[in-house]
Amino acid sequence: MTTDDIVELGLDGVVAIAERQCIDYYDDPLRTKADELRAAGNEDAAFVVDLVAVVCTFALQEDNPSNPFAPRMVMGGMRTPIVDDLEDGHFAMLESVRDAIRDAELRARIADVLWQRRGRKVADAVTAVSEYMNSARRLDDPGWWPQPFLRIKRASQVAAQIVNGMPEPMRTVDEWILERVRSLDGVDPLYYSARLMEVLLTVRRTDKERREFATQAIKTAGRASDEGDPERARAYYDVAVRWHDPVSDAETIRALRIAAAETILARARSQAQAIAKASLLADAVVALRNAGADAAQVDAIRRELDESQRASLSGMKTLSAEVDITDMVKAARKAAEGLQFEHAIVKITRMVRIPTVSDLRAEVEGSIKNTPLRMSLSSRQIDRFGRVTGVRSGVFGDDADREGAILSEMHECSRRRRAIAVDAVIEPYRKQMMSEHRPSLADFMRLVHDRPLVPPQGRAFFVRGLYAGYYGDFIEATHLLVPALEHALRMLLASTGALVYSQSPLGIQDFFDLNRILDEPGTLAALHEDYIFELKGLLVSRFGENLRNNVAHGLLTPNETQGPAAVFLWWLTLDLIFSLNYVGNERVDASGSTLE
């Protein structure tokens, strides 16, 4: 189709009836127009209008200037179109459309898409900058700031990409922003001027401009505070910091950062719910410390935080789900019946299998797919004192955040499995054994004697810990087995030839703690990765039971030392003792079959 043919389609009139005059709303009326043309038998015209509708669906990413367009939707391994899906013929058709329309919003989008193609033309970039600014002027509204701002920022990005000594597009953008921010003069109901000031900072500014806009940002922050909007005030204090020179204005920057941190404190104190107040107070403590606030001020807020955290516990609700384990309990009891003690105590370790790391990861990946909203949210783990002991990011952040979130959720999945294993299998089996056998300390000494995991100097701790757990005294069992197991794993690592201590510059040598031991390559060589993950979750992970650290710091209650984690520790210790035998360099289980 020629440009004249496209003019006859009246695309400006089609997009004029969109719900809003921005690109995100243009594809619906365009598709309706394409359907009408197709019904009238005009397939060529319908194809052109459909192409324009597709271009309108590209999602503009403000923070990816080199690859600005993403699919509008990704789901189930499928996505909506992107620029890379277009072919040379499509680009040629879009050139004709651009020349046939007047709507600034649509012309800006088409020119920007043309700027992304191979062998792109500077004229397309110049057109994109000009039309983005025209569209921004039309949409300009501090109360609906994201839409005009997105076009202004994209215009700035494209202008910065133009080479061949063409400063005019960038100057046009910069001068418009300067004029617009000055016209707001500290009266901004939302974040329009804050974001525009950030764009201004992408270009070298004069000292006079720095003083001017730093003052305006502070003025806007003060106004926001007076209007009871501490979150907006913080945004403007943060912008003001960026307008000051980090060397010559160091003390001013410190004062502004403290002021920004105090807006978090104001938000916290305005919260009706203790749990929300505690969360924000924790953020305020971190922000004030980072800002260099006085220690006395930080300590006072920490005391306020402690009070709020304790109060927040009363507002928390317990969530639970019923699982019928009746048949599993019966099967576990029956499996223990009529066996000799030595056979029964070994068999209990075969009644439960720890989950594989790959299975846990697959379970979490399934949760991401099936419940993406829940997995996209960050979460905090709270202990019985109301303290935050762990923070899990959402899974849709950067790669590091995603992997950290997946590992945290894997530990949570493993913790749930441990609880079920204890209630459904381990405890019923142990109680059935105890009803039939009354072993002595000497019996347990025979069980652990000469086992590779149990070092001779730690044998008595294993014996007494296993003995206490067998008879249901998990307070004693836990406090004996945790340090005994840590030392045993340290010696296991040493047996591989690895060093098990660090050395300071003064020559002081300290043994590795359990966190370091479980992260050492030698430990992975001696144990399977599934055991290492289970040990981390049970003993040292913030998102597991963290038994090692809670025992060491006296944080466990008597009820917690009788809970699933303590019982599972007793079982896992038995499992490791009976599973780890060595024939040369090959690790085999108690039945003689290889584990690798």
DSSP per-residue string spanning 114-165? HHTSTT--HHHHHHHHHHHHHHHHHH--GGGTHHHHHHHHHHHHHHHH--SS
User: Which CA distances in Å does 596 have to 415, 589, 593?
Assistant: 25, 10, 9
Instruction: Quote the pLDDT of residue 555.
Output: 87
Q: What is the pLDDT of residues 34-59, one digit of tens each?
A: 999 999 999 999 999 999 999 999 99
Is residue 29 pLDDT above 90, yes or no? yes
587 vs 301, residue with greater confidence: 301
**17, amino acid identity:** I
In the beta sheet, which residues pair with residue 70?
Answer: 59
Structural domain contains residue 424: yes
Residue 466 to residue 480: CA distance in whole angstroms? 9
Q: Are strands 509-511 and 581-583 parallel, antiparallel or unpaired?
A: unpaired
User: What is the domain count for the chain?
Assistant: 2
Segment of 43-52, 115-124, 316-325 carrying the highest mean pLDDT: 43-52
Point out the domain boundary residue: 54, 88, 120.
120
* Cβ–Cβ under 8 Å, residues 455 and 491: yes
Structural domain contains residue 510: yes
Tokens representing residue 75 in the block: 């789901």
Structural domain contains residue 174: no
**424, amino acid identity:** A
* Residue 1 lies in domain: 1-120
Report the C-alpha dihedral over residues 567, 568, 572, 573, rounded to 10 degrees: -30
CA 44 from chain centre, in angstroms, equals 47
72 vs 319, residue with greater confidence: 72
Structural domain contains residue 111: yes
User: Which CA distances in Å does 492 have to 354, 478, 525, 529, 572?
Assistant: 20, 20, 10, 15, 16
Instruction: Quote the pLDDT of residue 82.
Output: 93
Is residue 481 pLDDT above 80, yes or no? yes
Q: Determine if residue 10 is left, alpha or beta; phi over 0 gives left, psi from -120 to 50 gives alpha, anything else beta.
A: left
As a whole number, mean pLDDT of residues 374-402 equals 73
Contacts (Cβ under 8 Å, ≥6 apart) of 180: 140, 193, 196
Q: What percent of the chain has pLDDT over 90?
A: 66
DSSP assignment letter at 248:
T
Rounded mean pLDDT of the chain? 89
As a whole number, mean pLDDT of residues 266-291 equals 89
Structural domain contains residue 229: no
Instruction: Quote the pLDDT of residue 276.
Output: 85
Supply angle C-alpha 73, 69, 174, rounded to 5: 135
Residue 421 to residue 564: CA distance in whole angstroms? 9
Instruction: Quote the pLDDT of residue 596.
Output: 30
* Cβ–Cβ under 8 Å, residues 316 and 296: no
The residue among 119, 203, 206 whose CA lies nearest residue 157 is 203
Instruction: Quote the pLDDT of residue 183.
Output: 95
Radius of gyration from C-alpha coordinates of the chain: 33
536 vs 377, residue with greater confidence: 536
Q: Give long-range contacts, CB 8 A cutoff, 24+ apart: 76-82.
A: 81/54, 81/57, 82/58
Structural domain contains residue 593: no
Residue 257 to residue 238: CA distance in whole angstroms? 7
Supply angle C-alpha 256, 259, 261, rounded to 5: 110
Point out the domain boundary residue: 95, 120, 145.
120
Tokens representing residue 292 in the block: 């260099």
Instruction: Quote the pLDDT of residue 320.
Output: 60
Structural domain contains residue 236: no
Is residue 400 pLDDT above 50, yes or no? yes
Point out the domain boundary residue: 93, 120, 147.
120
Instruction: Quote the pLDDT of residue 581.
Output: 61
Instruction: Quote the pLDDT of residue 1.
Output: 78
